[in-house]
Amino acid sequence: MAPSRRDEEGPGRWGRRRMIVAVHQPNYLPYLGFFQKMANADVLLFFDTALFSRQLGFHNRNRIKTPIGAQWITVPIQHSTVATMRDVRIAGTDWARQHRKMIEANYRRAPFFESYSTELHAALKKPWTSLVELNEAMIGLVARSLSIDTKTVKTSTLPPPNTDDPTEKLIHFARSVRGTTYLSGVGGHEYLDESKFTDIRLKYDEFTPTEYPQLFGPFIENLSAIDRVRRQTRIRMSARIGREV
């Protein structure tokens, strides 16, 4: 097993071993960038107390490759005006059979598909009602296939933050699991107040899609990670951890 970033960095300046914490909303069958961030953290916090947004696009759907290009597979949800992710309920069960059929039809000729298809299909046959629980299970399945063993924790199991400030919320969650470094995606440049990271380091995880063999014509980037799941070879994340603030 490869050493974690925590072991590589050694003791922190506060007299305890460094703990890299990332926070991300649990999306449905996320793309490789999600798993790079997960692999580069010691703890990944599933932000299930965040508000659910249909506009963000990936909470309940993602894209796979087909002979006619990238196609969405979507988990239908019950109508709700305002809800946190942990409150979102799945509508019906027919979607799971459709997803199994689409994945089987488009990936059965892909390398190593048989090594994870049984587990994937078994997961999709379960009677899911909670979107977060479904997404957490599917993320775990893909992570295992990529030999990623990062610990995951839901933010709903942590003490709630006493603030609405986005940066302070994330710092609170990182502190709650004894984090010493907060690992953000590059999108954090747009909303994080870097001046508030006083006792916790801030680093950025930059993901650059790398072309790999795909079925059905020219390469399409940022598909669901199941497009590249290979159980028998650990994916090399080639992460570029950006500057420390």
Q: Is it the case that residue 16 has pLDDT exceeding 70?
A: no
Answer yes or no: are the C-beta atoms of 48 and 35 closer than 8 Å: no
Determine the 3-state secondary structure of 197 from DSSP.
Answer: coil
Give the total number of structural domains in the chain: 1
Nearby residues of 59 by Cβ (< 8 Å), 6 or more positions away? 25, 27, 28, 52, 53, 85, 88, 131, 135
Report the distance separating Cα 6 and Cα 41, nearest Å.
8
Q: Is it the case that residue 241 has pLDDT exceeding 60?
A: no
User: In whole angstroms, how far apart are CA 91 and each of 83, 221, 234, 237?
Assistant: 15, 30, 35, 35
Q: Is it the case that residue 240 has pLDDT exceeding 60?
A: no
Domain contains 97: yes
Tokens of 78: 């019950």
Report the distance separating Cα 106 and Cα 96, nearest Å.
15
Q: Of 31, 32, 23, 90, which is closest to residue 57 (Cα–Cα)?
A: 31
Tokens of 202: 């801030």
Answer yes or no: are the C-beta atoms of 197 and 183 closer than 8 Å: no
Which has the higher per-residue pLDDT, 242 or 188?
188
Report the distance separating Cα 239 and Cα 106, nearest Å.
29
* pTM, two decimal places: 0.86
pLDDT at 87 (0 to 100): 94
Q: Is it the case that residue 222 has pLDDT exceeding 60?
A: yes
Domain contains 12: no
pLDDT band at 228 (very low <50, low <70, confident <90, very high): confident
Tokens of 118: 């049984």
pLDDT at 117 (0 to 100): 80
Using left for φ > 0, alpha for ψ between -120 and 50, and beta otherwise, residue 128 falls in beta
Domain contains 184: yes
Tokens of 39: 């692999």
pLDDT at 233 (0 to 100): 40
Answer yes or no: are the C-beta atoms of 210 and 170 closer than 8 Å: no
Domain contains 200: yes
Q: Is it the case that residue 124 has pLDDT exceeding 90?
A: yes
Of 31-40, 55-64, 122-131, 189-198, least confident by mean pLDDT is 55-64
Domain contains 7: no
CA quadruple 24, 39, 230, 134: dihedral, nearest 10: -30
Q: Is it the case that residue 236 has pLDDT exceeding 80?
A: no
Tokens of 219: 């390469």
Percent of the chain with pLDDT over 70: 84
Domain contains 5: no
Domain contains 43: yes
Answer yes or no: are the C-beta atoms of 64 and 32 closer than 8 Å: no
Which has the higher per-residue pLDDT, 108 or 103?
103
Domain contains 228: yes
Of 13-22, 50-59, 99-108, least confident by mean pLDDT is 13-22
Nearby residues of 105 by Cβ (< 8 Å), 6 or more positions away? 66
Q: Of 227, 70, 78, 42, which is closest to residue 153 (Cα–Cα)?
A: 42
Domain boundaries, position 25 = 17-241
pLDDT band at 28 (very low <50, low <70, confident <90, very high): very high
154-165 pLDDT, tens digit each = 999 999 999 999
Tokens of 131: 């979107």
pLDDT at 154 (0 to 100): 98
